[in-house]
Amino acid sequence: MEKVNFYDLDISDLENVLSSIRVERYRTKQLWVDVYRNGKKSFDEISTLSNILRDNISGIISLKRLQVVDIKESDDGTQKILIMLDDGNFIESVLIPRGEYYAICVSSQVGCAMGCKFCCTGYHGFERNLTVGEIVGQYMIAKDLLCDWPVSKTLPKKVKNVVFMGMGEPLLNCENVIKAIKVLSNDSGLGVSQHRVTVSTCGIFNKIKCVSECLNVNLAISLHAANDVLRSKLMPINRKYPLDKLLSTCKEYCKNSGKIITFEYMLINDINDSINDAKELVKVLTGMRCKINLIAFNEWEKSGFTTPQKEKIKEFENVLKKKGYNVFVRYSSGKDINAACGQLKAKVYNGTLYRQKYKQFYSM
Ligand code: SF4
């Protein structure tokens, strides 16, 4: 019988699985705490269970963590983690230092079907959605790498923020993303505050309500253009989910949730970085409770785009600031290791290249 992956389960699923082999109810919490608070990686490490119980449970549940096959560290401390999934696909997560703590940028899909023109992940297409366990597993890897165990109410957490800005469009894997966030934020386990989770979308507005009704997370919108013509060129999904409807959904979200929304705007040289583009952005965001992150485009081979000069970015920023917007210019972390926004591309290596390089893992 195929084992159930522990990290795919929420606490009530776990209770159901355990009750199917007649394990007492109180053991559910015990196991949950051992894995998610104490960081236990195998049943052998779980001393709160008798040998017989360990054997029984390990016969139906697997605690196997995701397989890290490579870690690249940037000069600025950012770490790009290459993970091989059980089916041989690869994804990347990025661990970003933020002063005293870290943020983990997680992937939600293998590749991405959205095809945004400036994005290396989109360039290489879509393979499949990640499972709940594969999403939660990325956070577990971050905690393991940083030796961030046990989880305690008094000790500060080293990995505090989780951002869904890695590979894939989270709202097209909505069900698994929501369940994974519920697992991450469960108070008896990892206890990640939902206020410290940000879900970023390229504009799948019909799913925004669904997320805001189930969770108390932050929302970020990848905007990148302030009119439909340019946005559809840069982000083909805009043809199906046009700007006016996206922005009206955002306004409604702010009103209902009381939250501020973040707009990500990647500045691409001579494409969307003129003063007129900035003025247009001001116009379409009028009345929106938001902050704006300006990100200088990170160049990658075959994109055909270039990074704007710093002076141009400053001019763009000034137009927004003069109109009273909260603007942050973000120079992405981990550029030297291709870990910056839009540069993740693990899928390109799916198949022969990585299979050869990591053949020891394939034979395990
Ligand atoms: S920017 Fe996001 S939504 Fe667009 S292709 Fe890249 S991963 Fe997909």
Q: Is 107 in the pocket of ligand 1 (CB under 6 A)?
A: no
Residue 324 has pLDDT above 50, yes or no: yes
Q: Is 122 in the pocket of ligand 1 (CB under 6 A)?
A: yes
Structural domain includes residue 40: yes
Residue 344 has pLDDT above 90, yes or no: no
Q: Are residues 126 and 253 in the same domain?
A: yes
Given this model, what pLDDT does residue 298 score?
87
Q: Is 264 in the pocket of ligand 1 (CB under 6 A)?
A: no
Q: Is 159 in the pocket of ligand 1 (CB under 6 A)?
A: no
The DSSP secondary structure of 238-296, one letter per residue, reads GGTS-HHHHHHHHHHHHHHH-PPEEEEEEE-TTTT-SHHHHHHHHHHTTT--EEEEEEE
Q: Of the residues 62, 86, 104, which one is the last residue of a structural domain?
A: 62
What's the 45 CA to ligand 1 centre distance in angstroms? 39
Nearest to 11 by CA among 25, 21, 3: 25
Nearest to 182 by CA among 229, 222, 214: 214
CA distance 120 to 111: 9
Tokens coding 241:
């989910």
Given this model, what pLDDT does residue 347 score?
45
Given this model, what pLDDT does residue 156 score?
86
Tokens coding 283:
């116009």
Tokens coding 259:
């939250």
Q: Are residues 33 and 81 in the same domain?
A: no
CA distance 179 to 306: 38
pLDDT tens for 74-88 read 888 999 999 999 999
Q: Are residues 116 and 164 in the same domain?
A: yes
Q: Are residues 26 and 149 in the same domain?
A: no
Q: Is 203 in the pocket of ligand 1 (CB under 6 A)?
A: no
To 10 degrees, the CA torsion angle through 328, 334, 335, 341?
Answer: -60
Residue from 93, 116, 127, 343 to probe ligand 1 pocket by mutation (most atoms less than 8 Å from CB) = 116
pLDDT tens for 46-71 read 999 999 999 999 999 999 999 999 99
What's the 23 CA to ligand 1 centre distance in angstroms? 43
Q: Are residues 183 and 233 in the same domain?
A: yes
Atom of ligand 1 nearest to the CA of 341: 1
Structural domain includes residue 332: yes
Structural domain includes residue 363: no
Structural domain includes residue 267: yes
Residue 362 has pLDDT above 70, yes or no: no
Which residue is closest in CA terms to ligand 1's atom 5?
A: 122
Q: Are residues 237 and 309 in the same domain?
A: yes
Phi, psi at 252, each rounded to 5°: -65, -40
CATH at residue 30: 1.10.150.530
Given this model, what pLDDT does residue 331 score?
74
pLDDT tens for 113-162 read 999 999 988 888 899 999 999 999 999 999 999 999 999 888 888 999 99
Residue 307 has pLDDT above 80, yes or no: yes
Q: Are residues 49 and 195 in the same domain?
A: no
To 10 degrees, the CA torsion angle through 262, 248, 240, 328?
Answer: -20
Nearest to 124 by CA among 340, 300, 358, 359: 300
Tokens coding 75:
């000069």
The DSSP secondary structure of 51-88, one letter per residue, reads HHHHHHHHTTEE-PPPEEEEEEE-TTS-EEEEEE-TTS
Could you count the other beta carbons within 10 Å of the beta carbon of residue 326? 13
Q: Of the residues 40, 62, 84, which one is the last residue of a structural domain?
A: 62
Structural domain includes residue 362: no
Q: Is 293 in the pocket of ligand 1 (CB under 6 A)?
A: no
Q: Is 96 in the pocket of ligand 1 (CB under 6 A)?
A: no
Q: Are residues 109 and 210 in the same domain?
A: yes
Residues 6+ apart with CB under 8 A from 247: 284, 285, 288
Structural domain includes residue 140: yes
Taking residues 13-29, what's their average pLDDT? 96
Q: Of the residues 39, 62, 85, which one is the last residue of a structural domain?
A: 62
What's the 115 CA to ligand 1 centre distance in angstroms? 7
The catalytic residues are 92, 341
pLDDT tens for 269-288 read 999 999 999 999 999 999 99
Residue-level length of the chain: 364
Q: Are residues 149 and 24 in the same domain?
A: no
CA distance 222 to 243: 11
Given this model, what pLDDT does residue 334 score?
67
Given this model, what pLDDT does residue 364 score?
34
Domain count of the fold of the chain: 2
Residue from 117, 119, 263, 343 to probe ligand 1 pocket by mutation (most atoms less than 8 Å from CB) = 119
Given this model, what pLDDT does residue 245 score?
97
Residue 357 has pLDDT above 80, yes or no: no
CATH at residue 181: 3.20.20.70
pLDDT tens for 235-272 read 999 999 999 999 999 999 999 999 999 999 999 999 99
Structural domain includes residue 233: yes
Taking residues 92-106, what's their average pLDDT? 95
Q: Are residues 29 and 154 in the same domain?
A: no
Sign of the dihedral through C-alpha 183, 186, 191, 192: positive
Full residue range of the structural domain in which residue 282 is found: 67-357
pLDDT tens for 175-221 read 999 999 999 999 999 999 999 999 999 999 999 999 999 999 999 99
Residue 333 — pLDDT band, cuts 50, 70, 90?
Answer: low
Q: Are residues 76 and 35 in the same domain?
A: no
Average pLDDT, the chain: 91
Given this model, what pLDDT does residue 358 score?
45
Residue from 129, 165, 169, 235 to probe ligand 1 pocket by mutation (most atoms less than 8 Å from CB) = 169
CA distance 182 to 38: 18
Measured over all CA atoms, what is the biggest interatomic distance in the chain, rounded to whole angstroms? 70
Given this model, what pLDDT does residue 339 score?
65
What's the 120 CA to ligand 1 centre distance in angstroms? 8
CA distance 101 to 103: 7
What's the 290 CA to ligand 1 centre distance in angstroms? 21
Structural domain includes residue 364: no
Q: Are residues 36 and 76 in the same domain?
A: no
Given this model, what pLDDT does residue 355 score?
44
Q: Is 121 in the pocket of ligand 1 (CB under 6 A)?
A: yes
CA distance 204 to 42: 39
